[in-house]
Amino acid sequence: MAVKVLAIVLAGGEGKRLMPLTADRAKPGVPFGGIYRMIDFVLSNLAGGGFLKIVVLTQYKSHSLDRHITKTWRMSTLLGNYVTPVPAQQRLGPRWFAGSADAIYQSLNLINDERPDYVIVFGADHIYRMDPKQMVDDHIASGASVTVAGIRQPRSMSDQFGVIDVGADGKRIRAFREKPVDVEGLPDAPDEIFASMGNYVFTTRALCEAVTADAQNPDSKHDMGGNIIPMLVERGEANVYDFRDNDVPGSTERDRGYWRDVGTLDSFYEAHMDLTATEPVFNLYNMDWPIFTNYGSWPPAKFVHGSDDRLGRAVESMISPGVVISGSLVERSVVSPNVRVNSWSHVEGSVLMEGVQVGRRAVVRNAIIDKNVIIPEGAEIGVDLDRDRKRYTVSDAGIVVVGKGQLIEL
């Protein structure tokens, strides 16, 4: 008989480091790649792996995220499949989720109702492709209580990740350390470490017992990576799954093993730029493992005007449906649906979200422009960073970020 698996997606993150993009929405609900939302990537991976009973635990500013899931992610109810958002229900008292482990503890009724053999617990705000069935199979074969997905990173970058320290067999986890400065390399690669991807597979009983014990500890932060995994590591019941071994159909050598945590404005911007190359660092055009979404019934993109000084064109860019490029130039950019870029304007190295209007002779350079922003004629964004810092958010790397519906001054 096939094993029963329930997937839990942790989507309650506030996303403070992505402000102002998260001023009006939860981090997993932030648009990405023109037509998608961040959460579409983890849900597509789970669906691609055949796991079709999925609960999404939400909390902060979840309306936009809940609406997207409800409208987009509809499974066959005849077969008992579902994707359902579950907000903090205060089943154990008048309080919010105190952390990711507490979110699962407060939602144990979902596990008890489904009675799975194994529980997948994945994050909702990473950009990657993964076949989770291969990880589940590895977990079952290992007999461990929990398996943690690890991605190989240079040892010199250990202070940027939660690091998985493994034993001589390269599988059993000896320690789970948060951003250590000094750490041993891997047994088969001394210059590499395992960084935690925030994806876990649990044997159901072990997960329920762990989050229940954690809930009784007043000193715990009730965090999956900070408390639950170290608890099981100390018992010798935790294994690592090497993401390098995950074989996704249709992957290219260039994007195989790609994974990005887009929790900061600069990483969010860089992940978008990864999409625009002729041979993308992350390939959205892999139809053997598609990323599913629903972006509405927009008409095709259109490029108009063909005179020498008023030529509508886009180079090394991703242009979504409903976009009109009118006598203007778009370079190395990701343009979302229902955007209009008007004559003699220039958009370069930027992310334009749905409904943005770029006026004539405007310049937008190295910027993220959130939904429904109207950029007036002749305005300049990303040209004078000192001036931009007085009006907008500017990231550490100099990316100008304009919030949803924000007014643009000349």
pLDDT in tens, 370-399: 999 999 999 999 999 999 999 999 999 999
The answer to whether 226 is a known ligand-binding residue is no
Could you tell me the CATH number of the domain that includes residue 250? 3.90.550.10
Q: Among the three residues 256, 274, 292, which one is the final residue of a domain in this structure?
A: 274
pLDDT in tens, 287-339: 999 999 998 889 999 999 887 789 999 999 999 999 999 999 999 999 999 99
Neighbours of 285 (CB within 10 A): 9
Rg (CA), the chain: 22
In this structure, the answer to whether residues 249 and 309 fall within a common structural domain is: no
In this structure, the answer to whether residues 269 and 307 fall within a common structural domain is: no
185 in helix, strand or coil? coil
16 in helix, strand or coil? helix
Could you tell me the CATH number of the domain that includes residue 393? 2.160.10.10
In this structure, the answer to whether residues 126 and 45 fall within a common structural domain is: yes
Is 35 within the bounds of a domain? Answer: yes
Q: 389 Cβ partners below 8 Å, 6+ apart?
A: none
Average pLDDT over residues 100-108: 91
Binned at pLDDT 50, 70 and 90, residue 1 comes out as low
HSE of 257, CA atoms in CB hemisphere, 13 A: 13
Is 409 within the bounds of a domain? Answer: no
In this structure, the answer to whether residues 83 and 213 fall within a common structural domain is: yes
Is 61 within the bounds of a domain? Answer: yes
In this structure, the answer to whether residues 264 and 398 fall within a common structural domain is: no
Per-residue model confidence (pLDDT) at position 159: 87
Q: 379 Cβ partners below 8 Å, 6+ apart?
A: 359, 362, 363, 408, 410
In this structure, the answer to whether residues 11 and 72 fall within a common structural domain is: yes
Instruction: Spell out where 65-154 has E strands.
Output: 82-87, 118-123, 126-128, 146-154
In this structure, the answer to whether residues 119 and 25 fall within a common structural domain is: yes
The answer to whether 178 is a known ligand-binding residue is yes
Instruction: Spell out where 12-161 has E strands.
Output: 31-32, 36-37, 53-58, 82-87, 118-123, 126-128, 146-154
> Bigger pLDDT: 80 or 365?
365
In this structure, the answer to whether residues 91 and 218 fall within a common structural domain is: yes
Is 320 within the bounds of a domain? Answer: yes
> Bigger pLDDT: 232 or 16?
232
**123 phi/psi in degrees, rounded to 5:** -80, 170
State which residues form the domain around 388.
Answer: 302-402
Q: How many distinct helices (H) and strands (E) make up the chain?
A: 9, 31
Q: Among the three residues 237, 257, 274, which one is the final residue of a domain in this structure?
A: 274
Is 381 within the bounds of a domain? Answer: yes
In this structure, the answer to whether residues 128 and 248 fall within a common structural domain is: yes
Q: Among the three residues 233, 259, 274, which one is the final residue of a domain in this structure?
A: 274
> Bigger pLDDT: 99 or 11?
11
Per-residue model confidence (pLDDT) at position 65: 92
Parallel/antiparallel/unpaired status of strands 146-154 and 238-242: parallel
In this structure, the answer to whether residues 78 and 211 fall within a common structural domain is: yes
Distance separating alpha carbons of residues 348 and 366, to the nearest angstrom: 6
pLDDT in tens, 165-209: 999 899 999 998 888 888 889 998 999 999 999 999 999 999 999
The answer to whether 93 is a known ligand-binding residue is no
In this structure, the answer to whether residues 261 and 336 fall within a common structural domain is: no
Is 284 within the bounds of a domain? Answer: no
In this structure, the answer to whether residues 75 and 141 fall within a common structural domain is: yes
Task: Report how far Cα 313 is from the mean position of its chain's Cα atoms.
Answer: 30
If one counts the domains in the chain, the total is 2
